[in-house]
Structure 1
């Protein structure tokens, strides 16, 4: 599974990082930055919650 980020859609709300701090970090302005593209099986639920929490659909999960 992969977590993908469309950085042009990110508005810096930071909600994604609350659900998956091991996958997403925030830059100095609060915009999302992926730590890892590949998601380990143990983190799949967190990755889905992370993507679902984004109000601008900047994150998505892909198999």
Structure 2
């Protein structure tokens, strides 16, 4: 089973830290809020995804188990 990034849009303040750390998986909309790739985190990016989760200023980003 793999993991996928998820964001709590209510908690997110649009700081953009996550997109700077994992631009391969996270883009930003015109207001600075994250747009996540709808795919499992590749093995080679897992360490970067975990760092983005831990450095999220509002703790709005998580890694959740996915079935893909």
| Same fold (TM > 0.5) | yes
Q: Secondary structure at the match of 1:50?
A: helix
Q: 1:11 aligns to what?
A: 13
* Greater per-residue strand proportion: 2
Moved over 2 A (4+): none
Number of positions where the alignment pairs a residue of Structure 1 with one of Structure 2 = 63
Output the CA distance in 2 between the equivalents of 1:53 and 1:29: 20
Matched position secondary structure for 1:60:
strand
Q: What TM-score do you get using the length of structure 2 for normalisation?
A: 0.83
Q: Is the 8 A contact 1:4 1:37 kept in 2?
A: no
2:31 to 23, 29, 32: 29
| TM-score, length of structure 1 as denominator length | 0.88
Give the drift of 1:62.
2.4
Q: CA RMSD in A?
A: 1.2
Give 1 or 2 for the bigger CA radius of gyration. 2
State the 1:58 CA deviation.
0.9
Q: Which runs of 5+ in 2 are unaligned?
A: none
